[in-house]
Amino acid sequence: MIGASVLMVPYPLNMIPIPVLYGVFVFLAITSLGEFQMWERLVLIFTEQSLYPPFHYVRKVPQKIIHCFTLLQILQLAALCLISFGGSAYLKMFFPFVIILLMPIREKILPTLISERHLNSLDGEH
């Protein structure tokens, strides 16, 4: 099926309206939110603590640390969005550098704010 789509590159793909493609991508994004840990933690900010679902990190990490980690990730995501969706082409050139900068932030800066044990619980899938 993927190989057949290569044959459709010049003309038949041009017949698909752009809003239809946008709708497909929005549908895929919304249906995948349930499996996205950052979305789960974002919902926890607005949920009463007694109603928290039994996620592994909820049992191991205090509520304040979970919310702090989530807000730090949202700030990093906002910075990425500002750079990638910014109007300036010069600003967009820094996108790869910001992505690379996320690694030292996680490895050097976040452990000074949040303990390594809590970070492992929040990052890991176990």
**pLDDT tens figures, 32-70:** 887 888 888 888 899 888 888 888 888 888 999 999 999
Q: What is the reported pTM?
A: 0.75
Neighbours of 21 (CB within 10 A): 11
Best CA proximity match to 70, nearest among 48, 42, 43: 42
**pLDDT tens figures, 105-116:** 989 999 999 998
